[in-house]
Amino acid sequence: MKHKRILFASRNVHKYKEVASLLEPLDIEILFGPDIASLEVEETGRSYAENSLLKALQWSRSTGMVCMADDSGLEVKSLGWWPGKYSARIGESDNDRNSLILDKLSSEKDRTCRYVASFALYDPFSRETWLTMGLCWGNIGRQPAGKNGFGYDPIFVPSGYDKTFGELGKDIKELLSHRSVAVKLLIGMLSQISVIK
């Protein structure tokens, strides 16, 4: 890539570590947003894509760097695909949010859900933007299990498995997750137009 440094436009260190690991095979340094600037972006977009683009653009304008951002969430079918883009805002902590979902599903048989992630990459030098989206389907478990991952991972059982992401660990999550799908699509797009090798 012409630019060997990309700023990950997020204050979420868990997301940063996950994305940096996914991009590790590339010869690109992924920087953690708060190490470079102090910025809070209001997520006013109507979709994951709009929110990820808002964050990438605002961090890039603030720092002058190539910026990558994501917006992601959990969608539960029997709850009308809620909480969606509000996933991080329905409780004070991961435990609170997981407990709320489990409580709402206590009498539900259909526990179908999906993780959704949208990634935006903005290059202020070429003024080009790339957007991708990744999905990971699964079911909500009956109780939290496992200490790996973050967010809803202790209650999210990916399709084809009988354990949560919290139990399955990093390698399986990086193979299946919504962020993994979105990042791999982004790498593919950039490779096709020779932005990266």
CA distance 55 to 10: 8
Amino acid at 155: I
Please indicate whether residue 71 is annotated as part of the active site: yes
Active-site residue identified among 27, 35, 70, 71:
71
At residue 177's C-alpha, the angle toward residues 132 and 5, to 5°, is 55
Segment 10-14 long-range contacts (CB within 8 Å, at least 24 positions apart): 10/55, 10/69, 10/70, 11/40, 14/149, 14/150, 14/151
Q: What is the DSSP string of 73-125?
A: EEEEGGGTTEEETTGGGSSSSHHHHHHHHHHHTTT-S--EEEEEEEEEEEETT
As given in the structure block, the two tokens for residue 193 are 């137009």
Cα end-to-end span (Å), the chain: 7
Rounded CA separation 102/96 (Å): 10
Catalytic center residues: 71
